Amino acid sequence: MQNCGLPFHFSLGNTDLKMPDVIKHLYKYSPSQGGLLYAWFPSMHTRVDIMLCGRQGEDILLSVVDAVYKMLCRLEKMANYYDADSELAYLNRTASTHPQQVSHELYDMLTFCVDCYIRTAGCFDVTIHSADYTPNLIRSVQLSPQERTLLFLQPGVTINLSGFLKGYALEKTRKLLQHYEVKDALINMGNSSVLALGHHPLADGWKVGFGQGAVLNGRKPQELLLQNECLTTSGNDSHERKHIINPRNGKPVEGKREVAVVTDNGAIGEVLSTGLFVADARQREILEAEFRPRLILDL
């Protein structure tokens, strides 16, 4: 995804609000359009860019960014597969010996992702990084709703939520923005997970651009208009990158290719784009019928 047609004639932020050093921001105000805050920081192994529009003032808008940053840090501490100190990592180490208690939010995530294995005809599988992975290994994941526990019915099972977490984070961000009554915003997580709310200050909705390889209905789209929607992308952005594993054979998908989808929900979009990337023709039909995205783009 290329730039989003944003006006970058900002001044350096001028606020007394104490913020984490990793958060950088610029601010612009005009009597006719109100305030425009652009902020960015590292999180979830990528860069997060945030554009907020409103008349709340710089300090209030910046406090929204701070709330988003803290929420993302909390999610990483809970569900980061690569953080040995996260709750998910602890469960991966211990849930094969006896049932482990799971926090409410993480339990709901796990339930959603296990259910998505069925909904995607096996194309989305959070056990894909398990040692000695085989198709249907996810059936060894036992979730007990009454006790809110997780048990792996065989050794070597691990759960990786990386193909879901950024989309889930977009929905948590949406709720925070609603709480602060921010109606116009663009959230971009690593150019692969985007939430567009309301309108750009100078136009309807938010326009995002694509690279030269994008194909939509046989044509190359120059830009796409998003309004109260999510754009999520999965795949290999280079021939060298092979980070998505096909659940059918347990092997990385090769070749430079990406799939992007426009959906109403970021978590659904993340699951769908990942599933479509590995799906065969029959599975693709199943996914389209099940999730009904507004757009599917082969990039």
Domains of the chain, earliest start first: 1-299 (3.10.520.10)
Would you place residue 252 in the very low, low, confident or very high pLDDT band (cuts 50, 70, 90)? confident
> Which pLDDT does position 1 carry in this prediction?
47
> Which pLDDT does position 240 carry in this prediction?
65
Between residues 223 and 113, which one has the greater pLDDT?
113
State how far the Cα of 37 lies from the Cα of 57, in Å rounded to an integer. 9
- Span 234-245, mean pLDDT? 72
Q: pLDDT tens digits, residue range 149-167?
A: 999 999 999 999 998 999 9
> In this structure, are strands 141-144 and 184-189 parallel, antiparallel, or unpaired?
unpaired
> Which pLDDT does position 171 carry in this prediction?
98
- Span 133-154, mean pLDDT? 96
Judge whether residue 6 has pLDDT over 70: no
Give φ, ψ of 213 to 5 degrees. Answer: -85, -5
The pTM for the full model equals: 0.90
Would you place residue 250 in the very low, low, confident or very high pLDDT band (cuts 50, 70, 90)? confident
Give me the percent of the chain exceeding a pLDDT of 70.
88
Query: Are residues 192 and 232 in contact, defined by beta-carbon separation less than 8 angstroms?
Result: yes
- Highest mean pLDDT among 127-136, 181-190, 238-247 belongs to 181-190
Q: pLDDT tens digits, residue range 48-79?
A: 999 999 998 999 999 999 999 999 999 999 99
> Which pLDDT does position 290 carry in this prediction?
97
Q: pLDDT tens digits, residue range 259-291?
A: 999 999 999 999 999 999 999 999 999 999 999
Would you place residue 44 in the very low, low, confident or very high pLDDT band (cuts 50, 70, 90)? very high
Give φ, ψ of 140 to 5 degrees. Answer: -85, 0
Q: pLDDT tens digits, residue range 166-200?
A: 999 999 999 999 999 999 999 999 999 999 999 99
Judge whether residue 12 has pLDDT over 80: no
- Span 137-145, mean pLDDT? 97
Between residues 59 and 238, which one has the greater pLDDT?
59
CA distance to 24, 145, 221, 277, per residue, from 134 (Å)? 44, 26, 38, 19
Q: Which residues contact 19 (CB under 8 A, 6 or more apart)?
A: 25, 62, 65, 66
- Outline where 3-160 has alpha helix (H): 58-79, 87-94, 104-119
> Which pLDDT does position 7 carry in this prediction?
43
Cα 80 to chain centroid, rounded: 13
Would you place residue 299 in the very low, low, confident or very high pLDDT band (cuts 50, 70, 90)? confident
| Residue 258 tokens, joined | 């990406």
State how far the Cα of 171 lies from the Cα of 189, in Å rounded to an integer. 12
